[in-house]
Structure 1
Amino acid sequence: MRKHSKIPKIKYPLLLLIPAAILFALALEPFGFTSAGFLCIFLLLYFTKQLTTTSNWKQTLTSTLLFSSLVTLTSFYWIWNAIRNISGQGVILSSLLFLIYALVSFYKIGIIFFGSVFFTKQRKIKDTYFFLLVLPSLFLISDWICPMVFPVYWGDLFRNNIIWRQMARLGTEVLGFVSVISASLLYLMILKSDKGIRGYLPYLLPIVCFFTINLYFLAETIPQGPTIHLTLLQPNTEYAKREVQENQVWMTKTIQSVYDIGLEAIRNSPKPIDLIVIPESAIPFLGTLDSKDQNSTYSKSFVEITESLVRNSNAPLVFNELVSDEGSRNSFTLLHPISMLSERRYKQILLPFGEYLPGEKQMPWLRSLFPETSRHMPGKLTDALRFQTKTGETVTFSPLICYEILYPDLVRKMIEHSPPEFILNLTNDSWFESQTETMQHAGAGRLRSIESGRPIVRVAVTGLTTAFDPWGREMMGELQTFQKGIGYLDLPTVLEERTTPYIQFGPSPWRFMAVFLIFFVFFRSPRRILSNKMKNEIEI
Structure 2
Amino acid sequence: MNSFLHRFKEFQKTLAFDLFCFLWTGVFCFISFAPFYLTHFVWIAPFGLFWIAHKYSGRYWRLVGYGFLFGMSFYAIAFHWIHHMAMVFGNFPWIVAFILLLLSGVLFGVKFPLFLVSYSFLSRRVGRHSVWVAGACGMAADMLGYQLFPWYWGNLAAGNIILAQTVEITGVYGLSFLVFVISYTLFETNPLHILEILKSKEKRTHFGRFWALPFALLAIFLIVGTSLYFKWKNVVPTKTLEVLVVQPNAPMSIRDERGRSPRQVIEEHMAHMDKMVEDAVQKAGKNPDLIVLPEAGIPYYSARKAPLMETIGMYWSRFDSLMISFANRYRANVLFNEIDAAYKKKSSGKEYLRYFNNNVVYDPNGVRRQAYQKQYLVMFGETMPFEFMYDLSPQTGRFDPGESFDLLHYYSSAPKEPTSLLPITWERTEGLDADFVRNYYAPLQSEVKEAGPFLPLICYEVIVPEFVRKFKDSGNPQFIANLTNDKWYGTTTESDQHFELGRLRAIEWRRWIVRSTNSGISGFVDHLGHFIPGKSTGLMTAETTWQQIQVIDSPPGFYVLYGDLIPWILIILTAVYYGNLLLQQRRSRSNEKAA
* Fold in common (TM above 0.5): yes
* Partner in structure 1 of residue 501 of structure 2: 444
**What per-residue deviation string (whole Å, max 9, x for no partner) do you get for residues 120-150 of structure 1?**
55x2321xx2221x22222222222222111
Q: Please report how far the alpha carbon of residue 264 of structure 1 lies from its aligned counterpart in structure 2 after TM superposition.
A: 2.1
CA shift at 1:313, angstroms? 0.4
Deviations 1:267-315 (A, max 9, x none): 2224331111111111110001122224351001101111111111011
Cα distance, 1:498 vs structure 2: 2.9
Match of 1:83 in 2: 86
DSSP-derived class of the 2:56 partner:
helix
Q: Identity over aligned residues, as a percent?
A: 23
Q: Which residue of 1 aligns with 2:53?
A: 48
Q: Which stretch of the first structure deviates more once superposed, 37-46 or 62-71? A: 37-46
More moved, 512-521 vs 345-354:
512-521
What does residue 183 of structure 1 align with? Answer: 183
Q: What SS is found at the alignment partner of 1:538?
A: helix
In structure 2, the partner of 1:488 is 546
Moved more, 214-223 or 424-433: 214-223
- Closer/same/farther in 2, CA of residues 231 and 508 from structure 1, 3 Å limit: same
1:359–1:70 CA distance, 2 compared to 1 (3 A): same
Cα RMSD between the aligned structures? 2.9
The alignment partner of 2:468 has SS state of helix
Question: Residues 437-462 of structure 1, C-alpha deviation per residue, up to 9 Å, x if partnerless?
Answer: 00000001211111222111111110
Structure index of larger Rg: 2
Superposition pairs for residues 370-385 of structure 1, below 5 Å? Answer: 370-385=393-408
Distance of 1:462 and 1:156 partners within structure 2: 24
Matching of residue 24 in structure 1 with residue 32 in structure 2: no
Which whole-Å CA distance do the structure 1 matches of 2:455 and 2:6 have between them? Answer: 52
Residues 272 and 390, structure 1, Cα contact 8 Å, conserved in 2 = no
Q: What code does the residue aligned with 1:48 have?
A: A
The answer to whether the 8 A contact 1:398-1:422 is kept is yes
Paired residue secondary structure (1:491): strand
Shift of 1:339: 5.5
| 1:457 pairs with one of 490, 494, 514 | 514
Match of 2:369 among 336, 339, 342: 342
Q: Which residue of 2 aligns with 1:228?
A: 241
Amino acid in structure 2 at the alignment position of 1:403: Y
2:293 paired residue number? 278
Structure 2 residue 543 is matched with structure 1 residue 538: no
Which string of whole-angstrom CA distances, capped at 9 and with x for unpartnered residues, describes residues 14-39 of structure 1? 23221111101111111111111111
Partner amino acid, structure 2, of 1:141: A
**CA deviation map 1:438-495 (0-9, x unaligned):** 0000001211111222111111110101111121101242111111111110101111
Say whether the 8 Å CA contact 2:472–2:561 is kept in structure 1.
no
Structure 2 CA distance for partners of 1:118 and 1:206, relative to 1, 3 Å:
closer
| Offset at residue 64 of structure 1 (A) | 1.1
Q: Secondary structure at the match of 2:493?
A: helix
1:24-81 deviation per Cα after TM superposition (whole angstroms, max 9, x unaligned): 11111111111111110244334323332xx223321231121111101110001101
Count of aligned positions: 520
- Other-structure match for 1:262: 277
Structure 2 residue aligned with 1:157:
156
Contact 2:287–2:331, Cα closer than 8 Å, also in 1:
no
Superposition deviation, residue 539 in structure 1? 6.6
2:464 is aligned, of 403, 407, 417, to 407
Whether contact under 8 Å (2:53, 2:63) holds in the other structure is no
Superposition pairs of residues 244-255 of structure 1, within 5 angstroms? 247-255=262-270
- Residue 215 of structure 1 deviates from its aligned partner by 0.8
Flag structure 2 segments of 5+ consecutive residues without an equivalent. Answer: 199-203, 344-353, 415-448
Q: Distance in 2 between matches of 1:225 and 1:44?
A: 48
For 2:314, the equivalent position in structure 1 comes to 297
SS at match of 2:372: strand
> In the superposition, relative to structure 1, how do residues 480 and 519 fare at CA in structure 2: closer, same or farther (>3 Å)?
same
Distance in 2 separating the partners of 1:19 and 1:394 = 51
Letter in 2 for 1:482: M
Q: For 1:38-187, what aligned pairs fall within 5 Å after superposition?
A: 38-52=43-57, 55-120=58-123, 123-126=125-128, 129-132=129-132, 134-169=133-168, 170-187=170-187
Q: Is the 8 A contact 2:483 2:517 kept in 1?
A: yes
**Bigger mean CA offset, 338-347 vs 69-78:** 338-347
Higher relative contact order (CA 8 A, sep 6+): 1
Q: In the alignment, is the contact (CA less than 8 A) between 1:166 and 1:217 conserved in 2?
A: yes
Distance 1:458 1:479 in 2: 10
State the Cα distance separating 1:382 from its structure 2 match. Answer: 3.3
CA distance in structure 1 between the aligned counterparts of 2:225 and 2:54, rounded to whole angstroms: 30
The 3-state SS of whatever aligns with 1:171 is: helix
Q: Shift of residue 256 of structure 1?
A: 2.2
TM-score by length of 1: 0.89
